[in-house]
Amino acid sequence: MLRHVTATRYVAPLRSGGSVPAVVEADDLGTYVVKFTGSAQGRKALVAEVIVGELARALGLRFPELVLVRFDPAIAESEPHQEVRELHRASAGVNLGMDHLPGAVDLTPEVARDFPVDPLEAGRIVWLDALTVNVDRTVHSSNLMVWPTLGTVPPRLWLIDHGAALVFHHRWDGSDPAKAYDFRHHALGHYGPDVRAADAELAPRVTRDLLREVTAAVPDAWLTGEEGFAGPDDVRTAYVDYLHARVAASPAWLPTGFPSREELAAEEAQRAARTRKGRPAWLQRVPDLHGRPAAEQDWSVHLG
């Protein structure tokens, strides 16, 4: 089960995340990135964070500790932006916190050029993403952090941000556990991920017992009221059944055929050319902000 803490000081919002999480200090002297129940993504995003994050940790992948954070909006009344204050007021009570990694940096294309990742480690991460249908770890937004970046301890990859995973729980009766998804543009694809070795290693470990343990960490309140289910335990059973069936079907969905860095660059250049070709003449000289080289973009640190 996740630990409970109480937020004691509001530090700052993180506008790099669409859900506008916040950095807070808590009564255990820890610092956490908090995702709020009142955000536009809703509670299912928090459910996905817990299930995928705890599964990652159980399989030996690096993922910051999750805690349940009791949040009183009164501690953030100094927040100057009204929409953020409204988010806080809609989130009074228990929210989800992730241990803050001070000084961590995004695995951007620039960082990736000099950062080695073993094919098996890359394979494990890609395998987890394919299992949990996390299509939100791409070359453009890796949701991977490099930490620590100072001192004598070697920097390691840390997984964050799984709120977009488990897409099947948005329509329980419409997803095939054997469905294959497109992971060609996964953030670690150019490292040559050994997904088959990862499958042989990890699939036998994703048992019903492990999945029950992981789903038990989700608070009842975040599962209550799910249409078509009698209560939170029934929803947990649905997650267990679906993910266990998906593990059994892994030969059907194992990602393969990852493009190299050079192939990715060529694809991006073609996309940018098509975009420019479709512009009116007066826009031809305006830069394509989405397709420009990564070195020219503002790659701000992403913590939530």
Average pLDDT of the segment spanning 72-88: 96
**Of the candidate ranges 215-219, 231-235, 247-251, 291-295, the one whose mean pLDDT is the lowest:** 291-295
Contacts of 170 (CB under 8 A, 6+ apart): 44
Quick one: pLDDT at residue 291? 46
Task: Report the DSSP beta bridge partners of residue 158.
Answer: 145
pLDDT above 50 (res 302): no
- Residue-level pLDDT at 284: 61
**What order of strands is seen across the sheet that includes strand 144-147?**
105-106, 144-147, 156-159
Check residues 91 and 304 and name the one with the higher pLDDT: 91
Residues 122-140, mean pLDDT to the nearest whole number: 96
The letter for the amino acid at 243 is: L
| Residue 111 CB coordination number (10 Å) | 18
Higher pLDDT, 273 or 81: 81
Determine contact, residues 137/56, Cβ cutoff 8 Å.
no
Domain boundaries, the chain: 3-99
- Which of the pair, 212 or 291, is modelled with greater confidence? 212
Question: What DSSP string runs through 18-68?
Answer: TT--EEEEETTS-EEEEEPTTSTT-HHHHHHHHHHHHHHHHTT---PPEEE
Q: Say what percent of the chain tops pLDDT 70.
A: 90
Least-confidence region, from 56-60, 61-65, 168-172, 213-217: 168-172
- Taking every pair of Cα atoms in the chain, the longest distance, rounded to a whole number of angstroms, is 61
Under the banding of pLDDT at 50, 70 and 90, the label for residue 275 is: confident
Q: Report, as an integer, the average pLDDT of 216-242.
A: 97
Which pLDDT tens digit goes with each residue over 6-53?
999 999 999 876 789 999 999 999 999 999 999 999 999 999 999 999
